[in-house]
Structure 1
């Protein structure tokens, strides 16, 4: 499955404040046009369900996910439960630096469910996902952040 990883470096920030903004999914549409709508249902404890509608290239992707929030480790793990992807799983992680900066790392793997077209579509989907997450991070955290995206490399479908 293809994997996308994107880092955002925020100078002079509080990791806890960044994490609080990151986990407020319902507010995302206020910060960026990349996200059309997010509805959140608290399922108790550190778990919630969220339904997403996101602009993606020339269309709209919709999915539902289960989100596990860990405020102690400043991390969010998500797993798609229904939607346009066959599978979509990943995480958000916030890291503090000794110099007062903070890094947010987004990592996701996905399967669009089109194995015969994966060689063509997966690289395009990786780029589109990177662009969408970049817009979300810039909207949430401000244009003073530095984004770095390692070159995504889709894994061939026949790889275990």
Structure 2
């Protein structure tokens, strides 16, 4: 992911607990405030979601998009969950990942995100929007896992 925005947070929970929240797409509207609706479109044989449709409403940005997921995680929940854009109306690209790592008795989660819109946007504004998305997502994830 070239020129992505990245940020990390430490969560007071095990990697497995963090992974469980990341994988529970039906609950995203409860903790990811811009996500209004989520539908799992396809799953692999292990029950991991392969394709997920999101309906997003964040200020002026409203879109319904489909992401393709890759689950490179081990049994304890550590590893990497990544996604790439399959289809959208406003988004031209959305590639990202959560990297989940053990940090003592806590978990460090690093979120990388690269977004491109169909409508041209200044690079500085795009990075600011990415940083807001990443920050909000990590704070929501931490809050949901630690509740």
Q: TM-score range by the shorter chain?
A: 0.7 to 0.9
Structure 1 vs Structure 2 CA RMSD: 2.5
Query: Residue 59 of structure 1: CA displacement?
Result: 2.6
Change (3 A) 1:79 1:143: closer
Runs of 4+ off more than 6 Å: none
Task: Kindly indicate whether the alpha-carbon contact (under 8 Å) linking 1:96 and 1:103 is maintained by their aligned counterparts in 2.
Answer: yes
Larger RCO: 1 or 2 (CA < 8 Å, sep 6+): 1
Greater C-alpha Rg: 1
Conservation of the 8 A alpha-carbon contact between 1:2 and 1:110: no
Task: Mark the runs of 5 or more structure 2 residues left unpaired by the alignment.
Answer: none
Q: Indicate the SS of the match to 2:124.
A: helix
**What's 1:25 paired with?**
25
1:71-125: CA deviation from partner (whole Å, max 9, x where unpaired): 3143211110111222221211111112x121111112233245xx45x2x3212
C-alpha distance in 2 between matches for 1:144 and 1:113: 34
Q: What's the CA shift for 1:66?
A: 0.6
Unaligned runs of 5+ in 1: 146-160
Taking structure 2 as the reference length, the TM-score comes to 0.79
User: TM-score, normalized by length of structure 1?
Assistant: 0.73
Name the counterpart of 2:94.
88
Alignment match, 2:9: 8
